[in-house]
Amino acid sequence: MKNRKQVPPHDSVIVLEPGEGVSIDAEQDRTWRNLTRRLREMRGNVLADCFQIEMQLDRVLCELLFPSSDDPKLQPTDTIPVTSSSAKSIRALFDELVLKSSSMPMISFSFKITLLGQFETRIPTLKSVMPTDLVKTLDAVRKIRNNFAHYPVAFLPRRTADEKQTLEPVLCTHRAQIKLDQAFFDRSVTLFQKAIEGLRAVNEALRGNLNREE
């Protein structure tokens, strides 16, 4: 594949270009170890946040397919006012988009996002309450999750203006080296919060409207 990047075989290694060297004294070794510990902790936080977002997405999909079935105010003997027409519509969508789908052999995060997008185009109630870019936001979250789950962090030797040696952390994927600076994590936090708030708003809005007809 053209422009395919080399991925380090281990996490948290120092990557050198041909002919490049690095000196590791006691202070530099402590810095390296501290950075490794901090970034592994941050990787765990990213994966945990993405798990929470996927769980919120599961709740929205369940609410679409099983309206109000987990409403804490409902008693075991209460009925859920789903019409025969809307129930048939939901069943038809589930059969077509899940049971008969051949494009996704397993229920992955990607499939769930695709399913939400397809539901949005087919269910007016959902379309009316969905933030316009929620599917795009979730897909961006998925890409971050996949990168952190499947690729290693590496450190690149750098020199400051006063010629001091530093280590720059990057996430090494086959496509690019992603700089793991504060700006990256700030953007990620903003993106994750946007996804969580969007899914929560959709779930709450759906509970107030049981019409799931196409």
pLDDT band at 66 (very low <50, low <70, confident <90, very high): confident
CB 205 within 8 A of CB 129: yes
Average the pLDDT over each of 38-42, 155-159, 170-174 and give the range with the smallest value.
155-159
pTM above 0.75, yes or no: yes
Beta-strand runs (E) in the chain? 13-14, 153-159, 165-172, 177-179
pLDDT of residue 87: 82
Higher pLDDT residue, 108 or 73?
Answer: 108
Q: Which residue has the higher pLDDT, 150 or 20?
A: 150
Q: Which of 17-21, 71-75, 93-97, 140-144 has the lowest mean pLDDT?
A: 17-21
pLDDT at 80: 75
Nearest to 64 by CA among 166, 207, 178: 207
Percent above pLDDT 90 for the chain: 50
Is the pLDDT score of 144 beyond 60?
A: yes
State mean pLDDT over 47-76.
88
What is the sign of the dihedral through the CA atoms of 85, 88, 90 and 93? negative
Mean residue pLDDT across the chain: 87
pLDDT band per the 50, 70, 90 thresholds, residue 167? confident
- Cα angle 176, 177, 183 (rounded to 5 degrees) comes to 120
If you search the block for the tokens 């395919």, which residue do you land on? Answer: 4
> Bigger pLDDT: 174 or 98?
174
Residue 138 confidence (pLDDT)? 98
Q: So what's the pLDDT on residue 212? A: 66
